[in-house]
A and B are shown apart, each in its own frame.
Chain A
């Protein structure tokens, strides 16, 4: 009897794992293809796109091309500056707004919360024309600052929403104890509340950083100039109307994955705690 239950349990976990493994493969396949093919010569990419690079075929020609074009480092730097700065502002302002919304009672509190939820649902790209006009008249066209501003605006609603939910769970007694001890509201937020909601921050960091890093739209519209190009936009320069240097494109994309991977690993421990929740108590 118990054995039968045990076996049925095994079979169901096995099935669950098969489904999950299948899904993982499906999700990873495009990335793996890009990475594999970035090490193959052009002929092999089209001749046998699914084959692993062998000893005879392996080549670094794509990476060579990419790195020889000196501006690739510049693209990298631009992407990093934009992503890290936007992330910083999103978390900073997001935390402050979330603390205000979750901690203080003031007229319009719920209205502002609702307004932010709308910000999550309405894509910021709908306002591209307006944003472009604004940036041009502010003299910010073709600057990284324009991108940072737009991405901060894009990421804030979600950040405020998630963090204020988490902050509501932080014990009132703890904050009040700090007030009795004479800590300022800023110290309470940054020293006491933020460390407790770290998992929420990691979650927000991962979910907002990836779309920013990968975005092609706003760099193309707001900062297409040579000096302000981001990685994703830069990789496009290998795609021509008539000839495309696929080796270089794939190599550039592979390189673009690396920083995200590193940042992700940094946040991932916190992230898992955030997703499995209950961590805040």
Chain B
């Protein structure tokens, strides 16, 4: 019922191509997060789904119906905006009911829908207030309420948490996750924050420069990033990217040491290793030689910054109470199954690269 399909959507503003053929299949009840750096076309895509702007090519289907030429109000969608976008001259109640009144919904049904939204979001105390008299978090809840009363087939969220402070952001994020569980509705959620994407999504769409980089579950993206962009964008702190050369099953990481690798890799490559993919040993051991240059203590863990022989700085995950000193020579070893290889020129993942889940024993430390 709430199935959303995009077929070959593209968008150009004059000569600028902002979206390049996006195809997407969202199952009923799925929570999809579109993530990417600012300016990559996420909002544009969402606005096309909503019918707020026209696609240059392609079709939008919602619940099996081609809605490409329907106005936003007839598409069965509801949208929550970054800036809340509440009607400033109406009370919370007025904000919730305007859309339904506009659609000439029966008064009893309106009352029922409003009561439901008020119950879910605990809006009761604010019903008679105007948006100007509410805090940011309350406003965003009203905005979500305005979406709920429409009983849409698809919910669209455009960076709904960006205007909230950090503490509130976590709270509202949890509320949205809760809402999705409770309503079981299809949701498309846009954000530039990969943490939001990872925590909320059933599936994530990573975009960059108007092009879909990869679609997959959070763990698929984390474990098998399709290219160097996804690899660095997903995960925090980001994946270390180290230049190297591969050949005959041996990977030489610039100036620092040699590792075994998949035989498929040949020539210039970029090796991607997450901070927790390293094991750190005293200097002079077999592995990548480096020097500790900084340590960040976070309480439950800490991160070391280590400069390798060729000047590349990598981040290494370590126990909080490690004994490493600044300027101390160390050796980094790879934990098995933590090497991602990407083509140096195109950034595309080199097939048969060891996968953390599938081949835990495949990669050995040199």
Q: Which residues of A contact B (CB under 8 A)?
A: 171, 173-174, 176-183, 192, 195-196
A182 near B102 with CB under 8 A, answer yes
Interface residues on B, range: 20 to 34
Q: Is the CB of B79 within 8 A of A180?
A: yes
Is there an interface contact between B98 and A180, defined as CB atoms closer than 8 Å?
Answer: no
Please tell me if the beta carbons of B52 and A176 are within 8 angstroms of each other in the complex.
yes
Contact status of A180 and B72, CB under 8 A, knowing A171-B83, A173-B82, A173-B83: yes
Contact yes or no, B98 A181, CB < 8 A: yes
Closest CB in chain A relative to B81 CB, distance in Å: 4
Taking A171-B85, A177-B81 as known contacts, 14 extra A-B pairs with beta carbons closer than 8 A to each other, sorted by chain A number, are: A173-B85, A174-B83, A176-B72, A177-B79, A177-B86, A179-B72, A180-B79, A181-B146, A182-B73, A182-B102, A183-B98, A183-B102, A195-B88, A195-B89
The residues of B with any CB-CB pair to A shorter than 8 Å are 47, 50, 52, 71-74, 77-79, 81-89, 98-99, 102-103, 143, 146
Could you tell me the distance between the alpha carbons of A108 and B98 in the complex, rounded to whole angstroms?
35
The residues of A that contact B98 with a CB separation of less than 8 Å are 181, 183
Shortest CB-to-CB span from B72 to chain A, Å, is: 5
A195 to B83 CA separation, bound complex (whole angstroms): 19
- For A105, the closest partner residue in chain B by CB is B13
B102 lies within 8 A of A176 (CB): no
Say yes or no: B85 contacts A176, CB within 8 Å: yes
Which residues on A sit within 8 Å (CB–CB) of B87? Answer: 174, 177-178, 192
Q: Which residues of B contact A183 (CB under 8 A)?
A: 98, 102
For B79, give its contact among A171, A176, A182, A196 (CB under 8 Å). A176
29 residue pairs of the A-B complex, CB under 8 angstroms, read A171-B83, A171-B85, A173-B84, A174-B85, A174-B87, A176-B52, A176-B79, A176-B81, A176-B85, A177-B81, A177-B85, A177-B143, A177-B146, A179-B52, A179-B71, A179-B72, A179-B73, A180-B52, A180-B78, A180-B79, A181-B98, A181-B102, A181-B146, A182-B72, A182-B73, A182-B99, A182-B102, A192-B87, A195-B88
A179–B53 Cα distance when bound, in Å, is 11
Q: How far is the CA of A174 from the CA of B143 in the complex (A)?
A: 11
Bound complex: CA A192 to CA B85 (Å):
11
Residue numbers in B under 8 Å from A173 (CB-CB): 81-85
Overall SS of chain A's interface:
helix
Determine how close the nearest CB of chain B comes to the CB of A109; give it in whole angstroms: 13
A214–B196 Cα distance when bound, in Å, is: 62
Which residues of chain A are within 8 angstroms of B79 by Cβ–Cβ distance?
176-177, 180
A174 partner residues in chain B, CB cutoff 8 A:
83, 85, 87
B102 contact set on A, CB distance < 8 A: 181-183
Smallest CB separation, B73 vs chain A (Å): 3
Q: Which of B84, B89, B98 is the most central at the interface, judged by chain A CB atoms within 10 Å of its CB?
A: B98
Chain B contacts for A178, CB-based, 8 A: 87
On chain A, the residues within 8 Å of B47 by CB distance are: 176
What residues of chain B lie closer than 8 Å to A182, measured between beta carbons?
A: 71-74, 99, 102-103
The answer to whether B73 touches A180, judged by C-beta atoms less than 8 angstroms apart, is yes
In the bound complex, how far is the Cα of B83 from the Cα of A173, in angstroms? 7
Q: CB-nearest residue of chain B relative to A171?
A: B83
CB distance from B253 to the nearest CB of A (A): 47
Query: Chain A contacts of B73 at CB under 8 A?
Result: 179-182
A196 to B77, CA, bound (A): 26
The 4 closest A-B pairs by CB, nearest first: A182-B73, A181-B99, A173-B85, A173-B81
**Chain A residues in 8 Å Cβ range of B72:** 176, 179-180, 182
Closest Cβ of chain B: how far from A161's Cβ, in Å?
25
Which residue of A171, A181, A182, A195 has the most chain B CB atoms within 10 A of its CB atom?
Answer: A181
CB distance from A18 to the nearest CB of B (A): 39
Query: With a CB–CB cut-off of 8 A, which chain A residues contact B86?
Result: 177
**Is A180 a contact of B77 with CB atoms below 8 Å?**
yes
Chain A nearest CB, measured from B263 CB (Å): 53
CB-defined contacts of A177 to chain B, threshold 8 Å = 79, 81, 85-87, 143, 146
In the complex, which residues of chain A have a beta carbon less than 8 angstroms from the beta carbon of B143?
177
Bound complex: CA A182 to CA B73 (Å): 5
Complex: A178 Cα to B89 Cα, angstroms: 13
